[in-house]
Amino acid sequence: MKRLSIVGMFFFLCSGLLFGQESAQHEQDSLQYAIVVMLNDVRNNPASFIPAIDRYRLHVRSFTKNVPALETAVKEIKARLRKERPLPVLNMQGALQFAAMDHATDITTSGVMGHIGSDSSDPLIRVNRYGLISSLGEAITYGNNTPELIIAAFLVDEGTPGRGHRENLLNPIYSLVGVAVGSHAVFGRTCVIVLGAP
């Protein structure tokens, strides 16, 4: 009888662990999907995202080290969103999704930051492992936990020279996307978006 209860306890614990892993995976998949939906909403109706930019500004202003840079970037993106025309819908694409997942996993496990992986791979190398894309761009953010904050961080892009993340997300040539989230040991939630054209 005692042996039976130990075996039962073992299976109970294992099923709990598996359920926890499935639940975490479901949460991650849901977040990735919500990010794609929000990004497509922005591309479909750019001006509709201006209130989210204002909320992002208030959120970041409390801890940013360079308020003038933030204010400049916010002013730029609000002006851009007001005049931006609707952009093509982004469809999930396998090679881009796998490349985004690879880099998000690398960030989580190795702590690497930026567009170069711990294996020295760049976005093109990662995508080419799974397929060929004629044009691509990659955007990465750290420390933002909701789809709104993630997309707003990419669009404001106050810390990136040339606003490369903003330009990638609002580039009309892109019609394909892959999105993956992970967790950096120091900076928390990370999001990798890889955009491409067929």
Q: What is the 3-state secondary structure (H, E, C) of the chain?
A: CHHHHHHHHHHHHHHHHHHHHHHHHHHHHHHHHHHHHHHHHHHHCHHHHHHHHHHHHHHHHCCCCCHHHHHHHHHHHHHHHHHCCCCCCCEECHHHHHHHHHHHHHHHHHCCCCCCCCCCCCHHHHHHCCCCCCEEEEEEEECCCCHHHHHHHHHHCCCCHHHHHHHHHCCCCCCEEEEEEEEECCCEEEEEEEEEEC
What global pTM score does this model have? 0.84
For the chain, 198 residues long, give each residue's pLDDT as a single digit of tens: 444 455 444 444 454 545 555 655 657 788 999 999 999 999 999 999 999 999 999 999 989 999 999 999 999 999 999 999 999 999 999 999 999 999 999 998 898 888 999 999 999 999 999 998 889 999 999 989 899 999 999 999 999 889 999 999 999 999 999 999 998 777 779 999 999 999
CB atoms within 10 A of CB 95: 20
How does strand 91-92 pair with strand 176-184? parallel
pLDDT at 16: 54
Instruction: Give the dihedral of Cα atoms 65, 69, 70, 76; nearest 10 deg.
Output: -170
Asked whether the beta carbons of 108 and 139 are under 8 A apart, the reply is: no
pLDDT at 184: 76
pLDDT at 21: 52
In the chain, where the domains are located: 32-197
pLDDT at 13: 47
The Cβ-side half-sphere exposure at 67, using a 13 Å CA radius, reads 5
pLDDT at 1: 47
Burial of 177 (0-12, 13-18, 19+ CB in 10 A): buried
CB atoms within 10 A of CB 114: 10
**Superfamily of structural domain 32-197:** CAP (3.40.33.10)
